Amino acid sequence: MRPEILFSLYAPVTSLNGVGPKIANLIARVAGDHIVDLLWHLPSGLIDRRYAPKLCDVRTGVIATLTVTVTKHIKAHNRRQPYKIVCSDDTGVLTLVFFHAREDYLRRLLPEGEERVVSGLVEGYGNELQITHPDHVGRLKDLEQLQSVEPVYPLTQGLSLKVLSKAVKGALAGLPELPEWLDKHYITKQNWPAWRDAVLAAHSPENEEQLSLNTPCRERLAYDEVLANQLALALVRSQRRRRTGRSIKSSGDLRQKLLDSIPFSLTPSQVAAADEITADLASDQRMHRLLQGDVGSGKTVVALLGMAAAIESGHQAALLAPTEILARQHFATIEPLARAVGISIQLYTGRDKGTARAAILEGFKTGSTQLAVGTHALFQEGVEFEDLAFSVIDEQHRFGVHQRLALSGKGEASDVLVMTATPIPRTLTLTAYGDMDSSRLTEKPEGRQPIDTRTFPLERLDEIVSAVQRALALGAKIYWICPLVEESEALDLAAAEDRYAHLKQVFGAQVGLVHGKMKGPDKDAVMENFAGSGIDILVATTVVEVGVDVPEATVMVIEHAERFGLAQLHQLRGRIGRGAKKSTCMLLYGAGLSGQARERLKIMRETDDGFRIAEEDLRLRGAGELMGTRQSGLPVFKIADLMAHSDLLQAARDDAKIIIEKDPELQSERGRRLRVLLYLFERDEGVRLLRS
């Protein structure tokens, strides 16, 4: 249950004066549904209304707040002409201009003969001074209030600054005093205000500097937010640890056999990761580890060694892939290795039906199958394992903390290893996977050739086609990637099909096409032909569809590379350069490259280090848009900025760790205050675990 002290903040915005359902909808678009969301909707600029000269001194082109006497109203002669109100002070004259005005309203607002304060942008019109539609009109007693600095908020179509500002003011007026959850010494050291003062200050910048992300008030609020995030993850982690797993100790014979049967030796980071996994398995705490490594860095072998350890000591293991194609691919790589060392292995995807399905499930249930490879179908209703001790989940960056919890709930006390081929910047690893331990594969296996990456304008397509022709003659296989995004799906699909037709004209039957709208079996057939001998040029639309290992593929052409994100380009390019031969990646860009797109392509030319590319991606785009945050399950911060506040994140991580060590149930005085913080940022999944 949410603490009472937060009730008013979680009231709907419609409970504010002047906010009806229509405005609430607009506010929801920029901020959210609740009053608290308005608190986090911080100013992006300001309007300084402190300039209040006499009319003879007014500079034009700036905002001024002027005290004047209304001289006379001049009605418009027709609809197109404006309504004018002439005003003056003892030094000059000012005309107020209104279009489509209602006379009765203006006569009430600005009665002839009376003194009023008006604020707005002053323009020079010939020799005259005028303000068109003043932002504010008030009485003399309002002068001080009007002559202030007004925050400017991010808006949306249909939502005016005036309306939004009024709502924010309403939200701020009801701001409760919250108990201090931060460490006293830390606040003093940082020179941070209390929470309520911080919110108020963040909404009343006095000058441009105070809009910076690094003011004490913004930093305090950002720290609150990342602390809530880190604390929730730390709680999840400590709760999971307390539900003890089991200690899986193995002699290591099976692992050794595996190592003997693979034709290469492990890289240092593979060895380190494998050791960490074996240690996790041996410990009686539950493993929850992230294995990060670029495509081709050799995660599969590392996972397989862990699975061998579980199997060796009499348990089952499972490997879960996000798509059917990837599950099959994993199976194809692992099966020979597994069989060579006597592990019984089975593929299971949603496609298996009837008696085949029954037989497979029987194998899982009786334990005669030791290693299961498949899609999510593995963790669906009706699938039972005799003794699943270790689950490896491939490419799970699409899932959030909640889903991961659900998955690890399946195997009773199953140890979990999540593998991701999308290197995540360190800061994001902390915020998204802070509940997990992490291993990174940082070097590429020996014998890999670096990929030669070049960029070309799309007009030079003919040259590219000739280059492809030469590569084909040398026996290469070629990926030809066309962009496809949801918003322009039909167009994109047509473009991909056009390209396919075009290439087919040039190269004949050795060209294949695969895209997301095709049926599973059709896709597989094309992929198999590409991996085999039927197809040498594969026109494809997305990452997932090319998530398949074809070592002979040494050329990749990416059309409209400027439309892809860095992470995506990197992921795609990782499909080549897997064999011993030299590979080439050609990035074709369309007209009108933006500065950012240019920079992305430059980074792609410069490096193929996924971790560096991930950091650059974060720098260029900000965390909000990284990897399509909504689908990614990565947390979105409202105040914290992962670039500007990365040091705060690190501090929050340490803080959270110490808090949980000292007070695992959040029972102390500070603990109870921290619960309020978790609820304030809706990171209360951790608190819910406490009570259960």
Please state, in angstroms and rounded to a whole number, the distance separating the CA atoms of residues 516 and 484: 9
Could you say which of ligand ADP, Mg ion, none residue 301 binds, taking C-beta under 5 to 8 angstroms by partner kind? ligand ADP
Q: Which of 120, 138, 193, 296 binds ligand ADP (CB under 6 A)?
A: 296
Under the binding rule (CB under 6 A), the answer on residue 579 touching ligand ADP is: no
Q: Which of 130, 269, 278, 297 binds ligand ADP (CB under 6 A)?
A: 297
Could you say which of Mg ion, ligand ADP, none residue 515 binds, taking C-beta under 5 to 8 angstroms by partner kind? none
| Shortest distance (Å) from residue 452 CB to ligand ADP | 20
Number of CB atoms found within 10 A of residue 540's CB: 28
Q: What does the DSSP assignment read for 218-256?
A: HHHHHHHHHHHHHHHHHHHHHHHHHS--------SHHHH
- What residue ranges in 510-640 does DSSP mark as E strands? 511-514, 537-540, 553-558, 583-589
When the beta carbons of 337 and 656 are compared against ligand ADP, the nearer one is 337
**Token output for 535:** 């197809």
Which part of the chain contacts ligand ADP (CB under 6 A), choosing from 25-33, 133-141, 245-253, 289-297? 289-297
Which part of the chain contacts ligand ADP (CB under 6 A), choosing from 195-203, 291-299, 591-599, 632-640? 291-299
Please state, in angstroms and rounded to a whole number, the distance separating the CA atoms of residues 616 and 47: 34
Which part of the chain contacts Mg ion (CB under 5 A), choosing from 284-292, 298-306, 477-485, 497-505? 298-306
Please state, in angstroms and rounded to a whole number, the distance separating the CA atoms of residues 610 and 603: 11
For ligand ADP, the binding residues in 247-266 under the rule CB under 6 A are 264, 266
Amino acid at 189: K
CA neighbor of 57 nearest in space, from 97, 91, 88, 96: 91
Q: Which of 138, 151, 298, 374 binds ligand ADP (CB under 6 A)?
A: 298
Could you say which of ligand ADP, Mg ion, none residue 95 binds, taking C-beta under 5 to 8 angstroms by partner kind? none
Under the binding rule (CB under 6 A), the answer on residue 300 touching ligand ADP is: yes
Q: Which of 270, 396, 453, 554 binds ligand ADP (CB under 6 A)?
A: 270
When the beta carbons of 296 and 363 are compared against ligand ADP, the nearer one is 296
Q: What is the DSSP letter of 450?
A: P
How distant, in Å, are the alpha carbons of 105, 108, 295 from that of 113?
16, 12, 77
- Name residue 319's beta-bridge partners: 373, 392
- Name residue 72's beta-bridge partners: 86
Under the binding rule (CB under 6 A), the answer on residue 583 touching ligand ADP is: no
Could you say which of ligand ADP, Mg ion, none residue 186 binds, taking C-beta under 5 to 8 angstroms by partner kind? none
| Shortest distance (Å) from residue 432 CB to Mg ion | 20
Q: Which of 287, 388, 421, 543 binds ligand ADP (CB under 6 A)?
A: 421
Could you say which of Mg ion, ligand ADP, none residue 397 binds, taking C-beta under 5 to 8 angstroms by partner kind? none
Under the binding rule (CB under 6 A), the answer on residue 144 touching ligand ADP is: no
Q: Which of 295, 361, 401, 550 binds ligand ADP (CB under 6 A)?
A: 295
Could you say which of Mg ion, ligand ADP, none residue 193 binds, taking C-beta under 5 to 8 angstroms by partner kind? none
| Shortest distance (Å) from residue 291 CB to ligand ADP | 9
Please state, in angstroms and rounded to a whole number, the distance separating the CA atoms of residues 137 and 77: 24
- The gap from C-alpha 117 to its chain's centroid, in whole angstroms, comes to 47
Number of CB atoms found within 10 A of residue 5's CB: 14
Do 654 and 229 meet the contact criterion of CB atoms below 8 Å apart? no
How distant, in Å, are the alpha carbons of 96, 256, 292 from that of 266?
78, 12, 16
Q: Which of 4, 90, 381, 446 binds ligand ADP (CB under 6 A)?
A: 446
Which part of the chain contacts ligand ADP (CB under 6 A), choosing from 98-106, 296-304, 463-471, 513-521? 296-304
The values of phi and psi at residue 383, to 5°, are: -100, 120
N-terminal to C-terminal alpha carbon distance within the chain: 13
Residues lying near Mg ion in the complex (CB under 5 A): 300
Residues that bind ligand ADP (CB under 6 A): 264, 266-267, 270, 293, 295-301, 421, 445-446
